[in-house]
Structure 1
């Protein structure tokens, strides 16, 4: 019976992984913490919840408090909007109107103490598309790091045009219930970059299905009466991306600085994440949870594109982000035995300062407002739905008048503008407990 359930769950994973993942607006930076519909409905305040299956992707240790195996399969769709007003007028990012990503979680009870889990989420992603002409042409020249006697000067300007990252996380975990009130868990995060596209006016990097990385996760959940305390840590990881780079600067190609096309590679550093939370069950119906999430964006120092065969640098974007916090408040209310209502609010800080601001990820502090509903259908089935509205504080960016070495524009006045962003997120998930 267990073998049949495992086979069926693998089939669900393969089906879900075929769904496109493009994540521009779930949280600050290029993070998407919405790992379940329950999380979507509570603004991701789930790490201390011992009752909901939707807490498993946030804190696998929660599996220890469930005596039945379960499968959940769903999707999240995102309607993002980015815009910027520059000296040339107002411009909208030309990304897709609606984007979709998978949510899958399987939990298998082995005995009274042990549980095995397998999850599939899309924790990171990005899509922005700025038409050429969004940012003003830049006059002047900058020396490139080329040995003499070439040491040429070429026109400044490496504006981001199209950026797209689709990253999936396959997460196998094992959970051990130490006592009736304490559960511990550990597992792996196996990242796969389904798509990588980093285009600018200087060149285009395209990769499809290339790039993997490995991290780990540790979590714990403790319950004492009406109170529960949870914590989960996911390590940093580096994805080794590969693709084809096409140079768009005829000057650099003519000087022999770049080949017209070449195989390239890029190490993409993903941040670590620490989430801790406390939950209080006011009564049998109402429970409230407060979480704090710390994201290690300082890991995301730079994007360095290198030739795969030569190892020579092609281009480097300096980011120099800072670690940032998110504060999450969520509540669940059992309206009827078969119906649960959810609500949440979060304030998510950006890790991107002005020193190396980039229009590739035009980020700022964000407010997240969410609602959710879970309805039991009988025979162990339940249907869950959630909605979130995300709005970023407008960012009136005025950069430094100096240009960075190598022609990069991050943090310079070439990207001056008034940036705004909002997004609508919808989630739908089917859960089976058996």
Structure 2
């Protein structure tokens, strides 16, 4: 996530290298968000904030716990198969990331009495990984004597632990509040001549409300912004460049990673006992992710401030449930997620673009309190034919320059699997 230098001003090439390694992760919501936090969410394209019926809605709006009987536990996993490619002056290149990635989806709800519930969600709301082979971006390749700072691997894994409490104000209205505890489990940014890795923690809060009257329901959920303190190491992979003073020596460094706020509003209507439709609007506060500030541990000075200048972004989500049989529910969803990343600071680390999400899923009641769910989502990124009018200069910033010109394309397959058990006696 970060890189360090004792005196970056005296090493312009290093300053450009550091800027090229600044975080630019991307996932399958806007920016570097992974909004799929339950199997029901996979099948319904994350349109669940106003859903009082399905257990998979609780991670999206904990106030929904008040409309469920008893206590229950759900355990599942999100499997992600991403594919990224780019065509540059050196030809067509595919990302060499992991074929499939896995993230946890765990939710527990405990009914304390007639009015109070307690819950805990564990999921991975941000992250993912891409890798580019050396030679993908020829303008950054440098020479044999002085290798360039080509971005090669970007890996970010963030787990969220979200304890909440819910209070039923009335039979129609419930409210919730809780904490968002983020663990940056792994943060790695590598180039052809350096390697960076670190981890850290941060926290925020969340608030929610759900109103249900007859076939109509409306929900709101807010997650605050948060700052995760990331500490780690910087390693120079070219010792001769360290001796020549082009690269700093290996050492430790730190930065504050800004996690955006998220606001989700939704309305849901049950047209028949079998058919319900929900529409959600989500706003992601990516404008808080305005800069990367790297602090060197050798003398405690700020050795880099890099601008991101991302914009707040919207997502528009439509979800549908159909009760096929008493015990079997079908789910469908579509979402359009905007990118917060403009051309001015576009990054090849993991290029971002607007995307379309198509979901389908099923939930089946096995009886005796057991329930199984499966969901599939296809994510189609809009092609981004990036051409910059800003020339790259040796030692300068790479993001937003013609050094990373190319035709970027991406898509992903997501699979959610989950099993849950209710405990009506609790």
TM beyond 0.5: yes
Equivalent pair of 1:253/1:260 in contact (CA under 8 Å): yes
Partner of 2:5: none
Q: Identify unmatched segments of 5+ residues in structure 1.
A: 1-22, 141-153
1:388 to 2:377 alignment: yes
| Structure with more contact order per residue of length (Cα contacts < 8 Å, sep ≥ 6) | 2
Stretch deviating more after TM superposition (325-334 or 239-248): 239-248
Stretch deviating more after TM superposition (157-166 or 173-182): 157-166
Alpha-carbon distance in structure 2 between the residues aligned to 1:311 and 1:202: 24
Could you state the TM-score of these two structures normalised by the residue count of structure 2? 0.89
Q: 1:64 deviation in Å? A: 1.1
Partner of 1:188: 179
- Select 2:195's aligned residue among 181, 193, 204: 204
Alpha-carbon distance in structure 2 between the residues aligned to 1:313 and 1:93: 33
Partner of 2:350: 361
After TM superposition, the structure 1 = structure 2 runs for residues 44-59 of structure 1, keeping only pairs within 5 Å, are 44-59=46-61
Partner of 1:231: 220
Partner of 1:42: 44
Q: CA RMSD in A?
A: 2.1
Equivalent pair of 1:156/1:407 in contact (CA under 8 Å): no
Equivalent pair of 2:45/2:335 in contact (CA under 8 Å): yes
Alpha-carbon distance in structure 1 between the residues aligned to 2:95 and 2:293: 24
Q: 1:295 deviation in Å? A: 0.5
Alpha-carbon distance in structure 2 between the residues aligned to 1:118 and 1:237: 19
- Select 1:399's aligned residue among 388, 400, 403: 388
Alpha-carbon distance in structure 2 between the residues aligned to 1:249 and 1:402: 26
Alpha-carbon distance in structure 1 between the residues aligned to 2:338 and 2:141: 34
Equivalent pair of 2:140/2:149 in contact (CA under 8 Å): no
Could you state the TM-score of these two structures normalised by the residue count of structure 1? 0.87
Alpha-carbon distance in structure 2 between the residues aligned to 1:294 and 1:230: 14
Partner of 2:270: 281
Partner of 2:402: 413
Partner of 2:204: 215
SS at match of 2:345: coil
Equivalent pair of 1:30/1:361 in contact (CA under 8 Å): no
Number of residue-to-residue matches in the alignment: 398
Alpha-carbon distance in structure 2 between the residues aligned to 1:34 and 1:27: 8
SS at match of 1:336: coil
CA 1:162–1:313 in structure 2 vs 1: closer, same or farther (change >3 Å)? farther
SS at match of 1:414: helix
Partner of 2:286: 297
SS at match of 2:344: coil
Q: 1:319 deviation in Å? A: 1.7
Alpha-carbon distance in structure 1 between the residues aligned to 2:237 and 2:289: 26
